[in-house]
Chain A
Amino acid sequence: MAEIKLEHIKKQYQNASEPSVADYNLDIHDKEFIVFVGPSGSGKSTVLRMIAGLEEITDGTFTIDGEVMNEVAPKDREIAMVFQNYALYPHMTVFDNIGYSLKLKKTPKTEIEERVHQAAKILGIEPYLERKPADLSGGQRQRVAMGRAIVRDAKILLMDEPLSNLDAKLRVQMRAEITKIHKRMGATTIYVTHDQTEAMTLADRIVIIDHGDIQQIGTPNELYNEPTNTFVAGFIGSPAMNLLEVEYYDGMLVSDEGFSVTLPQGISKQLTDKGYEDKKIVFGIRPEDLHLDPIAMETYVGGKFTTQVEISELLGADVMLYTKIGNSEIVVRGKGSDYVAPGTAIQVAANLSKAHYFDAVTTNRII
């Protein structure tokens, strides 16, 4: 069993005026695959390293299965970790690299053989066991790093941006591998990345972090469909959600650049009840919820507006239209047949029931 609790975790470096991580609270369930995602410098790696014991926890409590682990040395925490740059021991063969932890525990030779071969088989690197890291490709090295972690049968597995050094195709391949390995190992896994696609595809739950503060914790679905603030809304999903600053009055959302939509009654009532009449809000709508076909035009009457196409990217079955209203950019996703040349003005129908409404000042979700 490996249940992890992080309570009021704080990290402040000696000469820093502000903490890198201010007040981190998180409960991680046994065998869960949880992803910390956020932009560079958001503090996600710092939290991971604190869990590993490679950074000191300035304040707060960190427990595994109820036992406080703040002061326990990394080597006694029984945590396996895959580093971003793999950290393979260059002077040892792949076999020795993977078997290193077992050797330290004085595991009998036959057992080491068995377990290393097993791990290598799962990752498909058995043919390379006698090679040195320098003779391997990036993808192979990555697998060795993973092999090193899984051979230990640890209860907790940490991964610090393990796929960021691989090319796009390999990344997709490895994502599937990682999910398979997680199911097989049954270890509680904490995965750090700045790539929201990885987060969305791998995680049971996602923790979005910005500047050391947790923005939202939830399943990929929750984060996608119910982002709690504009940061999460704009971070999850590719291409990003369109966020527009507008004013709400008389049941309409109007921007000073020519954008205007009429809200369905249900939504406008909620906004008014919450006191947003004549106030600024941030209107968020995903590119795929903006439609160009005639049926949509009929259905989403109130959400129609005009915008000017600047760039059209034909992606085969889909097309991405990068349009502008005044100075604000709106991305529309349509079918390939919806392709229009740049410079054209088009009419777009927004599915307002799928839209998101945020407070312009606090950036938090209103409805």
Chain B
Amino acid sequence: MQTQKLSVREALKVGDWRMKLSAIIMGTSQLLHGQILKGLWFLAVEISFFTWFFARGIKSLQSLITLGTHKQGFVFDKKLGINVLHQGDNSMLLLLFGVATILVVVIFFYQYWVNLKSARKLQELDLYHKSIPTLKEDLSALLDSKLHILLMSVPVAGVVAFTILPLIYMISIAFTNYDHNHLPPKNLFSWVGFENLGNVLGGDVASTFFPLLGWTIVWAIMATVTSFLFGVLLAMLINAKGIKGKKVYRTLFILTMAVPQFITLLIMNNLLNDSGMVNTMLMNWHVISHPLPFLTDGTWAKVTVIIVNMWIGIPATMLVTTGILQNLNQDQIEAAEIDGANKFQIFRDLTFPQILFVMAPSLIQQFIGNINNFNVIFLLTGGGPMNSDYYNAGDTDLLVTWLYKLTIDAADYNLASVIGILIFTLSAVFSLFAYKRVNKMNNLG
């Protein structure tokens, strides 16, 4: 006879008093069924949560809404008769603790739900006269059907603490006026709603945002495309028939991938500087009379950045493409040769489309990665040359590097957060669009 699965709602309706009591006092059902440890755990969770909530939690939530009311400053203390430094509220910490509080509440509700589900399971087992799992059985299930809980709980906790919590915190900052004029602990900041977003999209910051957005997209496209195309070409050159020393060449290029980016980019910065090696040598050979502004002219810098990025990116693409080339079906190429195709046609009609097909998802990821490619731009040009029309940004700044500058140099955390959210939106939109396209390609291919 097949056992019917009860939903939690059904279980609450038809369940016995133990089930219903579990909804109010967590852990009741488990304790009464002999699952002592589990029952005590849920009870403990409930008690500690409510104690904490009434002692601290509510206040935390209140502060979250106000973000602090007392400014730091001197206050006349009547008792002592002098001005005393009043610490005041720290908006930033209040926001942080507020967000953490909300997360704790969410986690509590999750535990509450687990409690109900467990009680429902017990109800089911009772209904069908099955045995209640002992502690030993529960623990051994952790190694089998519940292995994912054992393996994933610690990493997921880490993700919540170090990724989700900070992200929610940063996203909330986008809706405050936490900038260089409102730095705690001296100053307070408060909620301003969508004002920052409006500022970026339509206000004074817009004249920086949109050009940078444009450049970010141009850069991402150019960087991905050039790395890919030339990487494929390089792979084909090395992989060509009759070329000896394939492994040597590949190793040389892998070598360049092993050197940390910040070293290679600072080297490039040095070489291409106005007084750098390239310029001085060209001048010594009387090819030019003035140094070429590789890094100091807006347009030149943009081109330089793309070309230097090729140095960084091509070995990687070459490597992956080589893998694909080696797995390519050789028979079809021979068939094409018999059909009369020359090398170029074979590349255009057979090899390249298949490489593209396999690499499409990876290319999308690279594109999105390039939107956020902090290192190359920051280390090579520092985002410069500085552009006085821009607010804290230079000609080659990407949205990410601008985010960095807004945070570290200008301390405009709220603007930085808004930019961060916008970058995310950009990436998400592109991802969705690209994956739909790739799926279509896959379905036709």
Contact = CB atoms under 8 A, between A and B. Distances in A.
Touching chains A and B, CB distance < 8 Å: yes
Interface of A: 59-61, 68, 70-71, 73
Contacts of A60: 2
A242 B2 CA distance: 45
A11 to B, nearest CB: 13
A61 B2 contact: yes
Interface in B144-158: 144-145
Say whether chain B's binding surface is mostly helix, strand, loop, or mixed: loop
Contact of A73 (B1, B2, B3, B144): B144
Interface string B121-146: 00000000000000000000000110
B1 A61 contact: yes
Contacts of B145: 73
A68 B144 CA distance: 21
Nearest to A60: B2
What range describes how many residues of B lie at the interface?
under 10
Nearest to B145: A73
Interface string B1-21: 111000000000000000000
A70 B2 contact: yes
A28 to B, nearest CB: 21
Interface string B97-138: 000000000000000000000000000000000000000000
B2 A59 contact: yes
Shortest Cβ-Cβ A-B pairs, 7 listed: A59-B2, A70-B2, A61-B1, A61-B2, A73-B144, A73-B145, A68-B1
9 contacts: A59-B2, A60-B2, A61-B1, A61-B2, A68-B1, A70-B2, A71-B3, A73-B144, A73-B145
Interface of B: 1-3, 144-145
Nearest to A59: B2
Nearest to B3: A71
A185 B3 CA distance: 35
A68 B130 CA distance: 13
A3 to B, nearest CB: 19
Contacts of B3: 71
Contacts of A71: 3
A341 B145 CA distance: 67
Contacts of B2: 59-61, 70
Nearest to A58: B2
B113 to A, nearest CB: 24
Contacts of A59: 2
Which of B1, B2, B145 has the most A CB atoms < 10 Å from its CB? Answer: B2
Nearest to B130: A71
B1 to A, nearest CB: 7
A221 B79 CA distance: 110
A138 B384 CA distance: 64
A253 to B, nearest CB: 49
A60 B145 CA distance: 23
A21 to B, nearest CB: 15
A5 to B, nearest CB: 14
A265 to B, nearest CB: 54
A70 B3 CA distance: 10
A71 B145 CA distance: 12
Contacts of A70: 2
Contacts of A68: 1
B110 to A, nearest CB: 26
Contacts of A61: 1-2
A203 B144 CA distance: 37
A71 B1 CA distance: 11
Contacts of B1: 61, 68
A134 B3 CA distance: 45
Given A61-B2, A68-B1, A73-B145, 6 more contacts: A59-B2, A60-B2, A61-B1, A70-B2, A71-B3, A73-B144
Nearest to A70: B2
Contacts of B144: 73
A93 to B, nearest CB: 26
A257 to B, nearest CB: 44
Nearest to B144: A73
A70 B144 CA distance: 18
Contacts of A73: 144-145
A61 B1 CA distance: 7
A60 to B, nearest CB: 8
A328 to B, nearest CB: 40
A59 B4 CA distance: 11
B251 to A, nearest CB: 28
A300 to B, nearest CB: 54
